[in-house]
Amino acid sequence: MISPEKIWSSDQLPTLPAVAVRLLDLSKNPDTDIKEVIETIKADPAITAKILKASNSSFFGLRSECKGIERAVPLLGTMVVTSLALSFSLSESAITEGPLKSRFDSYWKQSIIQSAAAELLASKLGNELKYDSFLIGLLQDIGHLAMLRSIPNDLLPVLEQAESQQRNCSEVETEVLGINHTEVGVKMMERWQMSEQFKSAIAHHHDTFEQLKALESDPNFKLIIIIATSASIGDYFCSPNSGLALHRLQELTAEFYNMPHDDLHGFLENVQSRFEEAAQVFQVNMDDIGSPYEIMATANEQLVQLTMKAQVDSTQACARQAVIEEQKVKLESENKQLQSKAIHDPLTKAYNRSYFNEAFEKEIYSCARAAHPIGIIFSDIDRFKQLNDTYGHQFGDLVLQRVAHVANESTRRSDVFCRYGGEEFVIMVNNPSENGIKEMAERLRALIENEVIEFEGKRVPVTASLGAVVGIPPRNITGFAERLVAEADEAMYESKEKGRNQVHVRSIISQEDQELHRLIKRSRFSRWLVTKKVFDIPTISKALLKCPKQGEQVKIGELAIAEKLLTAEQVVKILDQQKETESRFGEVAIRQDLLTLEQIAYLLALQIEPPIALGKTLITLELLDSTNTAELVKQYLSEIKDNAAPKEEHRTEYANS
């Protein structure tokens, strides 16, 4: 990368003589007097002689000979003589000797070709742009001249790389140097105070076809397309990468000039005739520029090579992509295995203690927000050390594996089963009741007892002692997890102390919370459907399992507003008090005499089990049609809301808890 200042601070940048600068100023003013232009040109005898000679050349084809500048200027026009004055100035900047002579020569030849091509292209889109196009065509690569003069040693390797790789020169310049000749050219136009029209055309002359298409609404679009197309023609005649230039030229002329590919060759012949006439004016030898026929053959050969290379690259890319995909699948598989090892016990394949601790913490936080119960079951294999000592460690490992398999198979998807350590296992139970967790623990105890585990063909009795606990986390959960684990552990040891192969269950849910959850259970849509004998318990239980999990639950305050039990102002008041006391929403609402316990239960039932969601599941399972479902939901909401009538004893109990 180079610093742009290295270019701008160079004393080798192209400069314009006073005559050219003055002519540029005059050309910008539509009211300029022709006599002032003539007097400006006559101030530089050398430029005067050159313009006079040019006016009598075949390039302009004037009918009569111009013997003086006074006659030549009116016939040529202000813009033309300004272009000629600039051209002669730039010609002198491009003439040099030394190792870069061929590069300067190539630049100047390409500039002449581009200006001639731009003039002819303008005639196809409207002659009003003819003279502007000639001048901009001449200036469009002025940045290239500036870089050749200011940073020749940096630029030369870049040009050679672009040619050898058959790539766009500006692209490689940006990649290697951090700046390209288009950007330098725009900067030169700013220094010379050229119009926005000039700067815009030069800024986009190496844009891609897609980028140019996106500029169709630009007010200077015609001029932009003329200069971009003339740039491709210049590259076609002068660049070693004529194949790339031909491809771009075919795209541009077909799209913007409605020129079929078959007509392109004839147009290029016209361009050649025109730039050969221009070469005589500027005394440039164009003999080394091939004919369109010769260049077309080379360009087509290059296009074939590029196409074949692209196909090879594509094939190789596909092969590389296949290898990458294979490696990706392999890495993903290995990653899954590593993740599985990180969270699973290697012997029993159950989750490990680390995973349990993380899942337990998340579930407690979630239950605290929703005031849902959480439960855990601890199980310890009875006399496991004796089994190990009697039958060996391999048998002990077998016992652990079989017990883990039995427990895992009997655990719900919503629960989490883990090996807690040694012969101890734990199950985190989602949303349990005291009776429900007791039944689950008793079922697991019986399954372990009935599992047939043999040693040398004889069955060895294996039992486990279990302890379970259920609780509802408060909003401030500090210490709750430790208490729950301690209670479950104590319940398990109680089972051991009272004879083993037993289940003991504890509840740390307050009587008030138990009453609230009894009311919630009674208020749920699924329970209402069973009560109304629309479905039996097994059917509704299967439907609940199929019911998709809700995302973020609707907040109870929002539900209260929607059900017209609270106003928005009342909800804000409750939330403010909730932050101060760390109490639950319902507790605060009851203390403030805004809701009853029954109304809280009704809202929580809607939050936990939205009736519309369950209704959609029943329709999907073809247990109900849409009409019956809508009627049942409507009836449920009406009845359950009526049942949420105030009961003073409930209000008092919950508010004081």
376, pLDDT greater than 60: yes
Distances (CA, A) of 536 to 49, 525, 526, 531: 110, 13, 10, 9
Under the banding of pLDDT at 50, 70 and 90, the label for residue 139 is confident
pLDDT of residue 305: 64
pLDDT of residue 135: 80
609, pLDDT greater than 90: no
Amino acid, single-letter form, for residue 340: S
pLDDT of residue 438: 94
Nearest Cα neighbor of 377 from 509, 268, 259, 484 is 484
Q: How far, in Å, CA of 75 to CA of 84, rounded?
A: 14
What long-range pairs does 131-136 form, CB within 8 A, spacing at least 24?
131/77, 131/79, 131/80, 131/83, 132/79, 132/197, 132/198, 132/223, 133/223, 133/226, 133/227, 133/230, 134/80, 134/83, 135/79, 135/82, 135/83, 135/86, 135/198, 136/198, 136/201, 136/202, 136/223, 136/227
Q: Is 657 exposed, middle or buried (0-12, 13-18, 19+ CB in 10 A)?
A: middle
pLDDT (average), residues 139-162: 86
pLDDT (average), residues 167-179: 87
Which token pair is 9? Answer: 């601070």
pLDDT (average), residues 108-123: 87
Nearest Cα neighbor of 70 from 43, 52, 57, 96 is 52
pLDDT of residue 314: 67
Under the banding of pLDDT at 50, 70 and 90, the label for residue 465 is very high
649, pLDDT greater than 60: no
502, pLDDT greater than 90: yes
Q: Higher confidence at residue 255 or residue 73? A: 255
pLDDT (average), residues 110-139: 83
652, pLDDT greater than 60: no
Q: How far, in Å, CA of 353 to CA of 207, rounded?
A: 61
pLDDT of residue 420: 92
pLDDT of residue 167: 81
Q: Are 227 and 116 in contact (CB under 8 A)?
A: no
654, pLDDT greater than 60: no
Of the segments 101-110, 211-220, 645-654, which one has the largest average pLDDT value? Answer: 211-220
498, pLDDT greater than 90: yes
pLDDT (average), residues 481-507: 94
pLDDT > 90 fraction of the chain, expressed in percent and rounded: 28
User: How are the residues of the chain apportioned to helix, strand and coil, as percentages rounded to the nearest 5?
Assistant: 65, 5, 25
pLDDT of residue 337: 74
pLDDT of residue 567: 92
pLDDT of residue 299: 66
Q: How far, in Å, CA of 26 to CA of 30, rounded?
A: 8
pLDDT per residue as tens digits for the range 27-82: 777 777 888 888 888 777 777 887 778 777 777 777 677 778 888 778 777 777 77
Lowest mean pLDDT among 150-154, 249-253, 282-286: 282-286
Q: How far, in Å, CA of 216 to CA of 138, rounded?
A: 24
pLDDT of residue 306: 59
Q: Higher confidence at residue 592 or residue 300? A: 592
pLDDT of residue 423: 92
546, pLDDT greater than 60: yes
pLDDT (average), residues 489-511: 93
pLDDT (average), residues 248-258: 89
pLDDT per residue as tens digits for the range 180-190: 999 988 888 88
Of the segments 208-217, 426-435, 438-447, 535-544, which one has the largest average pLDDT value? Answer: 438-447
pLDDT of residue 312: 64
Distances (CA, A) of 425 to 198, 306, 360, 417: 80, 67, 14, 7
pLDDT of residue 240: 80
pLDDT of residue 653: 45
Lowest mean pLDDT among 94-108, 111-125, 352-366, 461-475: 94-108
500, pLDDT greater than 60: yes
657, pLDDT greater than 60: no
Lowest mean pLDDT among 127-131, 457-461, 541-545: 127-131
Lowest mean pLDDT among 10-14, 493-497, 505-509: 10-14
pLDDT (average), residues 7-21: 76
pLDDT (average), residues 549-572: 85
Q: Are 647 and 596 in contact (CB under 8 A)?
A: yes
213, pLDDT greater than 80: yes
pLDDT (average), residues 112-120: 88
* All domains in the chain, ordered by first residue: 12-94 (no CATH), 99-290 (1.10.3210.10), 353-509 (3.30.70.270), 520-656 (no CATH)
pLDDT of residue 493: 95
Q: What mean pLDDT value characterizes the chain?
A: 84
Under the banding of pLDDT at 50, 70 and 90, the label for residue 304 is low
Q: Higher confidence at residue 68 or residue 633? A: 633
278, pLDDT greater than 60: yes
